[in-house]
């Protein structure tokens, strides 16, 4: 870890000293829409003198734009959320493989693309939430959610949601396609309502009494410890949570990650930016600014994240999980998961 930190410091120092970098620019295509990320960008600009030009949009829109722009694309870096979108970017041919000793040392192998076309920089655990007063025996695994005893109790997002697509792809990876089909059928049978809204809405469903159990990413709940979340913070005490599969593979983790664009005009700046995202300061800001888990081991958690408790995380290689995402979508469709 010390050597990796030294590499980052040396890289940033070189960037500050080198006129080519100081006068340079970085064109960032971002599908992360968090105001707190402003600190990430401004700190990088101050440290390097590199100006970040941002294009923001939905992930699929940015991918389509990069494909349409082709070799003339000004994009240097694409940053987006969830393994499924990173995999789609790779499949679309809008990213390139890079070599970086810093990233290899800092980012755990399961959070890297097999061809180094994308890297994870923050993580979110997909957690089971439940009404503490109504659910005496909450599900302890993802597969438990499909048990008949939870019929009519579960709130969960639609099958088009990337978080659910990657979760089902991980179930395929660990348990096989037949088990995944049974799980999807069971969840549809156990739904308290048709899928609607975002992750926070699934937890709010517990507060409103629409359901007794829900599935959502950790940071949507963790932020309620840090600030007021309408319809959740005032009733947070009624909500319990379980990190699933602690006696098996561990809790599923999805990523926020980035890669260097295939035709990056400022490739050196792009690689430097990714290396900066792996630095301790940036990793701490992912946690403190947006209630996420850092990708780099050993980085201190924000209080709002630490409040969720310790747990075993699934360390499956997400590059392998990504291969099962098309099969996951097929299973969703066959199960009638809206």
The model's pLDDT over 152-167, given as tens digits with 9 standing for 90+, comes to: 999 999 999 999 999 9
Q: CA-CA distance, 198 to 201, in Å (whole number)?
A: 5
How much is the average pLDDT of 235-260? Answer: 95
The pLDDT value recorded for residue 67 is 96
The pLDDT value recorded for residue 35 is 72
* Residue 274 or 16, more confident: 274
**CB neighbours of 64 closer than 8 A, spacing ≥ 6?**
none
The pLDDT value recorded for residue 120 is 96
User: Above 70 in pLDDT, residue 140?
Assistant: yes
97 conformational bin, left if phi > 0, alpha if psi -120 to 50, beta if neither? beta
Neighbouring-strand partners of residue 128: 215, 242
Domains in the chain: ranges and CATH: 2-123+253-308 (3.40.190.10), 124-251+319-335 (3.40.190.10)
Q: What end-to-end distance do the CA atoms of the chain give, in Å?
A: 45
Mean pLDDT score of the chain: 91
Residue-wise pLDDT tens digits, 52-62: 999 999 999 99
17: tokens are 């000293």
Percentage, residues of the chain above pLDDT 70: 93
The pLDDT value recorded for residue 2 is 42
Confidence of residue 4 (pLDDT cuts 50, 70, 90): very low
The pLDDT value recorded for residue 24 is 87
Tokens 């599900």 -> residue = 139
User: Above 50 in pLDDT, residue 223?
Assistant: yes
- pTM across the whole model: 0.88
């Amino acid at each position: 870890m010390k050597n990796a930190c030294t590499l980052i410091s040396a890289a940033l120092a070189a960037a500050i000293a080198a006129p080519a970098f100081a006068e340079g620019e970085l064109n960032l295509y971002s599908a992360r829409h968090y105001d707190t990320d402003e600190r990430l960008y401004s700190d990088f600009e101050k440290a390097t003198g590199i100006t970040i030009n941002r294009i923001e949009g939905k992930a699929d829109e940015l991918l389509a734009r990069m494909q349409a722009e082709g070799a003339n694309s000004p994009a240097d870096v694409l940053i987006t959320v969830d393994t499924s979108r990173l995999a789609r970017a790779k499949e679309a041919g809008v990213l390139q493989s890079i070599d970086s000793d810093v990233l290899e040392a800092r980012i755990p192998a399961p959070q890297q693309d097999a061809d180094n076309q994308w890297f994870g920089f923050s993580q979110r655990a997909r957690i089971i939430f439940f009404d503490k007063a109504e659910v005496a025996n909450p599900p302890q695994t993802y597969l438990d959610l499909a048990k008949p005893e939870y019929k009519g109790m579960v709130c969960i997002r639609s099958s088009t949601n990337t978080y659910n697509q990657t979760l089902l792809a991980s179930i395929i990876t660990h348990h096989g396609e037949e088990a995944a089909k049974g799980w999807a059928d069971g969840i549809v049978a156990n739904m308290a309502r048709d899928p609607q809204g975002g992750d926070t809405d699934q937890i709010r469903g517990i507060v409103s009494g629409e359901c007794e159990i829900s599935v959502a990413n950790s940071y949507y709940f963790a932020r309620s410890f840090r600030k007021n979340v309408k319809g959740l913070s005032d009733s947070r005490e009624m909500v319990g949570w379980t990190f699933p599969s602690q006696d098996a593979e561990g809790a599923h983790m999805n990523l926020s990650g980035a890669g260097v664009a295939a035709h990056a005009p400022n490739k050196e700046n792009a690689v430097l930016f990714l290396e900066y995202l792996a630095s301790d300061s940036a990793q701490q800001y992912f946690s403190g600014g947006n209630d996420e888990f850092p990708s780099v081991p050993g980085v201190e958690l924000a209080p709002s994240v630490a409040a969720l408790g310790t747990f075993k995380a699934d360390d499956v290689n997400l590059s392998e999980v990504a291969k099962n995402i098309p099969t996951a979508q097929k299973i969703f469709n066959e199960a009638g998961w809206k």
